[in-house]
Amino acid sequence: MFSDKIQFLPTLGGKTIVMYQNYTFSYVNGKRCLRCSRKLTMKCDARLTLDAQGNIVSALTKHNHPPPKFHRTSEGLYIKLQ
């Protein structure tokens, strides 16, 4: 149904970024609902819903901002660029 895969990217700070179509998302209410990481700052309404296996079952992917930019270190960690 959804051809693009969710990516789980490790950060320098030890956290994991959830990325889909070059945009980042944060979990809301557990591990099935994700909202755009810019929900508060940009009032972006993009969201994803996952099934129990982590597959996307619904997606609203229209963002009102460009995707964030990241640098991947030689160790495979991701750093958000300003």
Rounded Cα distance, 31 and 52, in Å:
8
DSSP of 31-58: TTEEEETTHHHH----EEEE-TTS-EEE
Does 57 map to a domain?
Answer: yes
Tell me what pLDDT residue 2 has: 62
CATH number where 66 lies: 2.20.25
Does 61 map to a domain?
Answer: yes
Tell me what pLDDT residue 23 has: 93
Contact, 79 vs 71, CB < 8 A? Answer: yes
Successive 10-residue mean pLDDT values, the chain, 82 residues: 76 82 87 87 91 88 91 84 76
Which residue range is the domain that position 70 belongs to? 7-81
Does 1 map to a domain?
Answer: no
Contact, 24 vs 35, CB < 8 A? Answer: no
Does 39 map to a domain?
Answer: yes
Does 2 map to a domain?
Answer: no
Does 16 map to a domain?
Answer: yes
Rounded Cα distance, 39 and 28, in Å:
11
Q: How many domains does the chain have?
A: 1
